[in-house]
Structure formats: C-alpha cells, structure tokens
Structure 1
Amino acid sequence: MPNHKNPPTTAAADWRRSSPGISNLLQHVLATGQMADVQFAVGRDHGDVKIIRAHKFILCLNSDVFDAMFNGGLPETRGKPIDIMEILPDAFSIMLEYMYTGSVKRTLALENVFHVIYCADKYNLPILMDVCLQFVRSLLKVDTCLAYLEIVKPFAHDSVPAFMEKCLEIVDASTETVLQSEQFLPISQNTLEMVVQRDTLSADEYCIYTAVEKWAVEACRRNNLRPSGSNRREMLGSVVFLVRFPLLTDSQLVNGPAKSELLLESELLAIYRYKHAMTKPPLAFSGEPRTGYVVTFRMKERVFVQPEDENWLAGEVSGTEGHGVTAQLVGRTVTIDEPKQIVRAFDILKKGQPILAFRRGWEKAKYYSAAAERDSHIVRIGDEQITVGFIYIRISRDDMAAWKATHGG
C-alpha cells in the first residue's frame, strides 16, 4: 500500500510549503511564472519590450476587460504574446501585483502612479483607481495641483470629480501663486475654463486677467499663430466672458484688454458705461466681486467705512478677527462684515479728491496730502490750506457713489 502519511518531498512542492497562504502563493506564481497560461509583450511604444507571464483565471476574476479578451474568442489571445504597446512594463507589473495580492502600497511612486491609473482605467479596475487617486491626493501641492488635474481629468471614474475638486480647492486657496506657476500655461482650454469660472478664486481680477492673457499668448505659440487680439480670443473661446472686466480700474482696462485688443471696442464701451452708471445696464461680463477674494487690511491702516445706513466715515483698522474688519471711528468701534462697506484710505485719498472736512462745521474741501503729525491731513477749503484731524474727514455720499461706480464697486 502506498504511504499517504509521508508523501515524497519534491522541488515542485517546496514553494507551496515555504509560502503558505493564498496571497503568498499567488505572489510566488506571479513572480516565477509557474503555471502561467498567457504572455504579454509590454512597452513596445516606449522602446523597452518586456515579456510578462500571467494566469488568465486571475485576470478574469479581477477584470471584465480581460474576461472578454480571453473568453470572447479574440484572435490575439491565441498563440503569441499579446502586444500591450502603450503601457510601461513597470506599470503593467504593478497592476498585476494588485490583481494577485490586493495591494500596491510598496511599489506605487510618483514616477509610475499616473501610468498605473491608465492601466486601471483601461482594464476597468475601480478599486485600483481609488488607491492611485488617494496616493496622488497625498502628493498634491500648490505647484502640482493643476498639472495633476490635467492628467487625471480624462479618466471616467467615480472618484475623479472629487479629486479634481480637491485640486481646484488648492487653486482657490493660492490663486495668485498657481496662476503664476509653470504648470498654468500648459493647461487645456477646458481646464482654464474650470479655473476662471470659479467664484471662489482668491486673487484680484487684474491678476486673473493677466494670467488669462499669458495663457492665450502661449496657446497661440503652441498652434503656430500670431498672438493677435483675434487669435488670442479664438484660443480663449468662452473663457473671455468669465473674466470680470468691470472689476478692473479704468487704468487697468486701458492698459490691459484695450491696449492688447483682446476686447472689442463695443465691449469696452459697454464696460465703461456699466462702471460709471448709477443704474447698471445688462452686460456680458459679471461685475460681481469673487467671494473668494478678500482684501486683507493691516492693523492701524487708514480706511473709509460705511456703517449701516450711514455716510462714509474715516477711521483706522483696529482688528481683523474672523471674517469681519474692526475699525475705530469717531468715538466708537464698528465691525464690518461686508467687503463693500470698507475701502483703503490709500485708494481713495488722492490729491485733488473732493471731500467734506470739518473745521467749524462740515465744509466742501479737496484732499491735498497727509500731514506729518499722526492722524492729520492737509486739505484745501477754497484758497485756504489747513490741517484737519483724520477722524473728521468724511467723503460725501455722492462723491463716494461716484468713486465706487468708477472703480466697479
């Protein structure tokens, strides 16, 4: 009778005993190619063809794409190695590692993760896609967020929109830095539109406009076009209507889109009328400030503030806690939560600016300059030049309304 208690030990049986557990066994047959019944010639397009052996059963269990390939009678599955030309061998091997072991944590790296994402998309491996996107998300930085968004955007996977939104949130938080980084100019027109349409960008509109202009010039260069106004506009497409041109000052408009001929004369005239009209006419461009852009005031910075239902009063910043700005006015402290209710004194106190100054009463005056003494200013009342206390300078309601209309506020 044969001895079943002590079967003969053979070399073929050693790996089964030394690698107990299904995960270890599968990892062994993947590494050695034992029992493999399919071969892939991977990486021809990259000049580095590698023959990789695998097991149809394991591949079909993981991927409906492989299942269709092997059980659908496709001719390329018979005989010779299957050509996988566009994929890097390293990425294909990492994908197989996931299929056999359920883990890729030890082998994922920035150098290969986007190639593995391509594999996960091609062979419909949603969990592997999730793992890769989580890995990339941990690497997101201000100087990479747009570049990574551009790479991941084409893939149709449930986790991609959330990943893209995370990238755009970084753009919101550091808009000016992102727009001036090297990753910005190569992005597609579609990605540019995603960025510029966001109400939550944290840069001023002139910074956004100049970035859009630079992108358009670069797009012309990529397409071998002269960077004329019409060509730049063609490259931008609908993006041009997402720039909030009414928020630019008159000087910025004249020296920006008017000088570069990005905007039509009729559009410039319409923007000018919109900016200076007391009642705003309809316009193709939004004139609403972006909610993400908040002017940061310095402590003791001189400002003009409009408390609720009052005229504009002069004061200085005494605190910037939370979302509000605390300002010290005549004998009282007020907190302003609405950005439109506060402006920098520097922006409005220009030489020759009409104001109301308090001498023996409120009198019409013109601002001249800041006096050497703290909290005082030099103004002209008629032909007389006098010094008045800063806290008693007040902009008239009509003059402030005219100033706000001029500056798109």
Structure 2
Amino acid sequence: MPKNGSTTAAADWRRSVPGISNLLHHALETGQMADVEFSVGREYGDVVIFPAHKFILSLNSDVFNAMFNGGLPETRGKSIDITEVLPDAFSIMLVYMYTGSVEDSLRVENVFHVIYCADKYNLPLLMDLCLQFVLIQLEPDTCLAYLEIIKPYPHDSVPAFMEKCLEIADALTETVLRSEQFLLISQNTLEMVVQRETLSADENSIYTAVEKWAVEACRRNNLRPSGNNRRQMLGSVLFLVRFPLLTDAQLVNGPAKSELLSESELLALYKYKHAIVKPPLAFPTEPRTGCGWTLQCHERVFVQPEDANWLAGEVSGIEDDGVTVQLVGRSVTINERDQIVRASDILKKGQAILAFDGVWKTAKYYSIAAERDSHVVRIGDQKVAVGFVYIRISRDEMAARKAAHVG
C-alpha cells in the first residue's frame, strides 16, 4: 500500500460500486475472489463458464450448501459440469442469488428454463417471480400449454397458477378448445379442463374438442383412431362429457357416427332423454354453471408505469400517497394521479394500448362504436371493446344488481 494510504488502482472498484447488492453483482460479473466455476450448457451446444462464490450460493440454496459443504465427491474440484441447463437461465439464477432481482431479464423464451433452475436448486422466491411473469403472458392459446409445463413442479404457488390457467379456460372456453395447444395437452390436463363446472361453451363444442383430442392422441401413439382406441386414449375423460345435454341430431351426427359410444350407451341416452322412467347413466346430466353466465361491462382505467407500457387496471384504493390500481396478476401504486387516464383518452390519440379479450393483448384504436361512447380496437381482424372490460357474472347476480339499482 502507498505511504499516503490511498488504495491501488486494482481496488478502485470498491469506490465505484457502493452498496452490498452492487458489490456482489460486481463480484459475480468479474469473478473476483471466486472459488468455484460452473461449465454450463453442454446439451445446448456451446459451453459457458460461470465463476461464482460457494459462500453466496450456499446461503441461497440448501442444494448448493449440500453440494459444497456435504462432501460430495463431484464438488471437490473447482469446476462443476452442469450439462442440462440453458446458460442464459443459469446466468439469470446467479444474478438473482447475488442481488435478489431478475431485473428485466425474464423472457418467454427463457422463463421455463429459469423455473427448472429454481426447482433444481430449491429457490422458491425465484420460482414465484417466474410464475408471476408467466401469469402476465397467459393467453387462450397458451394457458393450457403453460399449465402442462408448470404442474409437475412441487411448489406452493403452482396450484394457484394452475387455477389461473383454468380460469382462462372457463372464461374463453371456445377459444381455448379451438387452439392448437389444446390437442397437445396430456390426458390428465384434459381431465382437469373437462371436469370443470364453470366452462362457458355448450356441451356439443366440448364433446367435439374432446373427439379431436382423442384422434390426435391416437396419432401420437401410432394407433388407428378407432372408437375403442379413442376411448382408450380418453380414459375417464369420456365419462365427464355431458352427452345427455346433446340434442338427438348432435348425438346421431357426433358420437354415434364416430362410434365413440357403444350401442348400449346410445340406447341408454335415448331412453334418458325421452322415456318417462329414466335409466341410470354413466355421464353427468346437469348443465355446467358456466353456460348460464352472461357478460357485464365495467369501465377500466389505464396506467403508465416506469416501463412506459400502458397497462389496463381497476382502481382498488385511493390513499394520500397515491392511487393503487389492480393490474393483471399484480397491483401498482401510482403517486402521480395524472398518470391514470380513461381508456378513451388514449384511444382518441390512436395510441397502442392493451385490450381485454379474456386476457390483455396489445391493440390499437379502430373506431368508435355506435352504442354509448364505448371505443373499439382491432387485434388482427378481431374488434374488441376497450372502453369497458368484460367480467363474468351470474344471471341471478345480474338480476339482483338491476333490482338494487332500480330501488
């Protein structure tokens, strides 16, 4: 050390990156004082070397703690080979363990790889951050695919995440059933969907989608799509379809024509529908509650957080220090009240916003609807009302609200 007590040039980083989080991030980026390194991604082609610090990793993860302090023979050297992990995901996990943040690094392309890392190394809070990110990405054509990926993980937040996916299937059943991903889900996930009381499609649409799924399942298993093979693929799902709700014409042109149901099952259905004394059936007979639901409109506001993307939300609280707006999957407090605007204020400017069609999608102003002053935007070829957001509400509750309003 120089006589005047000043630090050397090599130590200047201590002055330029103040704060524990910044210091740790610097140590991770530079590999300074690292005592272990990981060779990551051999299965993905290029191997990336990550220097790290056993102490930091052990504090974060009991898996790493056992790895470094439990005497495992493969960790006695300085380099550890991790073949099946995507390097980008491993990097995000390391940054999280050093700083507690994933910043803006999560993408649809890498988030499921990060989830794999969070599970592999037992990082439940990182798993929570990833699931929150995926929730915002949910759309009708992806909700079941994402459910399929997430459901095997033994994490406390997974059941709630799965329910959110299934709620989209409830609200937009027809769209979900027609999606390409629906045909690729497992039999177990299909059962989760078809058993729900709150699906909003008619039963013939549900049956038709189940038939298509069974045909595709036969193809995946190199089976001829005969009636018996399709029944084998469906298993218990067959007995969740409410065949008694189909009309005679739908039964004749559907399961009877495709030979999905046996002659005895078809005869029992016919007797149930027309005989005075109804025979017992192996199928549910009551309509799904979702089919009796309608739509009610409520105006939404839009906010513009620091990321400059307009987000739609609903005011959930007004305090002296700001307004709290509930967004999809999270809430945000806006301290500047002029950041909260009506949908029409944005639409009239022709700016891109998020439109509601069961989930929020990017859309642009299209025209003003003739009815009221509701505005319309276009997502592809589809018009979506944006001045208002649709929420599902039972007819009984609708009648009660109308009565209260009149009173």
Mean Cα deviation higher: 278-287 or 249-258 = 278-287
Aligned partners of 1:273 and 1:279: how far apart in 2?
A: 8
Output the amino acid matched with 1:154. P
Please state if 1:323 is matched with 2:395: yes
The residue aligned with 1:94 is 92
> How high is the TM-score relative to the length of structure 1?
0.71
Mean Cα deviation higher: 87-96 or 257-266 = 257-266
Aligned partners of 1:214 and 1:290: how far apart in 2?
A: 21
Structure 1 residue 144: Cα displacement: 1.4
Please state if 1:238 is matched with 2:210: no
The residue aligned with 2:159 is 161
Aligned residue among 132, 135, 138 for 1:137: 135
Aligned partners of 2:17 and 2:28: how far apart in 1?
A: 13
- Check conservation: 2:200, 2:291, Cα contact below 8 A: yes
> How high is the TM-score relative to the length of structure 2?
0.71
Aligned partners of 2:21 and 2:397: how far apart in 1?
A: 60
Tell me the secondary structure at the aligned position of residue 208 of structure 1. Answer: helix
The residue aligned with 2:110 is 112
Please state if 1:10 is matched with 2:8: yes
Aligned partners of 2:22 and 2:256: how far apart in 1?
A: 68
The residue aligned with 2:275 is 277
1:155-179 deviations in Å (ceiling 9; x for gaps): 1100000000001001000001100
The residue aligned with 2:79 is 81
Structure 1 residue 280: Cα displacement: 3.2
Aligned partners of 1:264 and 1:39: how far apart in 2?
A: 62
Structure 1 residue 183: Cα displacement: 1.3
- Check conservation: 2:169, 2:199, Cα contact below 8 A: yes
Rate the CA distance shift 1:247–1:191 in 2: closer, same or farther, 3 A. Answer: same
Which segments of 5 or more consecutive residues in structure 1 lack a partner in the other structure? Answer: 298-320, 327-334, 336-409
Aligned partners of 1:143 and 1:242: how far apart in 2?
A: 23
Aligned partners of 1:286 and 1:277: how far apart in 2?
A: 17
Output the amino acid matched with 1:60. S
Q: Percent identity?
A: 78
Rate the CA distance shift 1:35–1:250 in 2: closer, same or farther, 3 A. Answer: same
Structure 1 residue 277: Cα displacement: 2.5
Rate the CA distance shift 1:60–1:182 in 2: closer, same or farther, 3 A. Answer: same
Structure 1 residue 279: Cα displacement: 4.0
Tell me the secondary structure at the aligned position of residue 12 of structure 2. Answer: helix
In angstroms, what is the RMSD of aligned CA positions?
2.2
Rate the CA distance shift 1:31–1:289 in 2: closer, same or farther, 3 A. Answer: same
The residue aligned with 2:259 is 261
The structure that has the greater radius of gyration is: 1
Rate the CA distance shift 1:3–1:43 in 2: closer, same or farther, 3 A. Answer: closer
Aligned partners of 1:137 and 1:105: how far apart in 2?
A: 17
Tell me the secondary structure at the aligned position of residue 28 of structure 2. Answer: helix
The residue aligned with 1:225 is 223
Tell me the secondary structure at the aligned position of residue 50 of structure 2. Answer: strand
Aligned partners of 2:252 and 2:67: how far apart in 1?
A: 62
| 1:159-238 equivalences in 2 (<5 Å) | 159-238=157-236
Aligned partners of 2:189 and 2:5: how far apart in 1?
A: 66
| 1:289-368 equivalences in 2 (<5 Å) | 289-294=287-292, 323=395
Aligned partners of 2:129 and 2:67: how far apart in 1?
A: 25
Rate the CA distance shift 1:325–1:253 in 2: closer, same or farther, 3 A. Answer: farther
